Amino acid sequence: MSELSLKTIIFPAAGLGTRFLPATKACRKELLPIVDKPLIQYAAEEAAVAGFEQIIFIVRKDEKSIARHFSDSPGLRERLAKTKTQQEVDALTRTITPSVTCRYVEQPEALGLGHAVWLARPFIEEQHFAVLLPDDLIDGGSYGGCMSQMMEYYKNNKCGAIGVEEVAESETKKYGIVSTEDSSAKASRITTIVEKPSPEKAPSRLGVVGRYILPTSIMSVIEDTKLGVGGEIQITDAISAILGKERIDAYRFDGIRYDCGSKLGYLQANVAYAMQSEELGVEFSNWLSNEVL
């Protein structure tokens, strides 16, 4: 494949979802709905629009619900076809475009994001690959999806990139934090990356969000990476180890990010997307204004 071929994206989805218990006892966190669509489907649609042809889902051992969601449902289609048009049936049952291949890799033990990414290595032939964390729902609005923006940047600059945004000083301990050659630029080469530093040790307030384009060479580095913060293999540590050899830029995407790994962010996303809904937007906005605000 050519150097600029970038067709594979990894979706780590093997977490326990403990912050959403008891809801996640029977339902994967990634399948919780934002209005009427599972969180992970928004991620898959973002990847498809950006041009990715292969999604590697990293899932828990014996996890089948995500695969079921993205597989065809002939019985459901047949039942819906009795009362709906073919276009309506497709809209209700098609969860991913047929041009995208889905693969599923089990993570037998929760050893961190770096380990989850490493498990996908047999399926990556390109010189770069992408990672998308479904927890981070990003509404790019008129600018397009975050991965579409980053793919355009990749094509023009031929290097890795990580999505970042400014975070509150008190929040640095929740993020990977980067420093760059030009802290004021929309995109700039990363010089330092640190996993969840305390505010006094953070090199900046630029927090890493769940969008990465990384060189495939990082796989061998992850293999040798020791356990880091939280007793896990951190992708941040592996990225830090290759910064002297590989150019990876911090990219400030356009759009609004909702941290759906938190209850507050999840609720905010539901409200925002409900207000934008063609079906519910006007009625929901009126209700919100009259009854809540």
Which pLDDT score is estimated for 4? 55
**In the prediction, which pLDDT does 208 show?**
95
Averaged pLDDT for residues 91-109? 84
Distance CA 44, CA 24 (A): 20
The answer to whether residues 243 and 203 touch, using CB atoms and an 8 Å cutoff, is: no
Write down the number of H helices and E strands in the chain.
10, 13
pLDDT digits (tens, 9 = 90+) for 189-221: 999 999 999 999 999 999 999 999 999 999 999
What would the two tokens of residue 130 be?
């992408």
On whether the pTM is more than 0.95, the answer is no
46 CB-near residues (< 8 Å, 6+ apart): 132, 138, 145, 146, 147, 148
CB-based contacts of 293, cutoff 8 Å, min separation 6:
none
Q: From CA 75, how far away is CA 205, in angstroms rounded? A: 50
Range among 12-26, 83-97, 235-249 rated most confident: 235-249
pLDDT at 135 over 50: yes
Statement: residue 283 has pLDDT above 90? yes
Angle of helix 146-157 relative to helix 39-49, nearest 10 degrees, comes to: 30
Element (H, E) at 162: strand 160-166
Q: How far apart are CA 169 and CA 141, in angstroms?
A: 27
SS3 of 132, please? Answer: strand
The pairing of strands 160-166 and 206-215 is antiparallel
Structural domains of the chain, with CATH = 8-261 (3.90.550.10)
DSSP 8-46: EEEEEE----GGGTTGGGTS-GGGSEETTEEHHHHHHHH
Does the bond joining 122 to the residue before it have cis omega, within 30 degrees of 0? Answer: no
Sign of CA dihedral 24, 103, 41, 211: positive
The pLDDT of residue 77 is 75
State the average pLDDT for the chain. Answer: 89
| Under 8 Å between Cβ of 91 and 212 | no
10 Å CB burial of residue 149 (0-12, 13-18, 19+) is buried
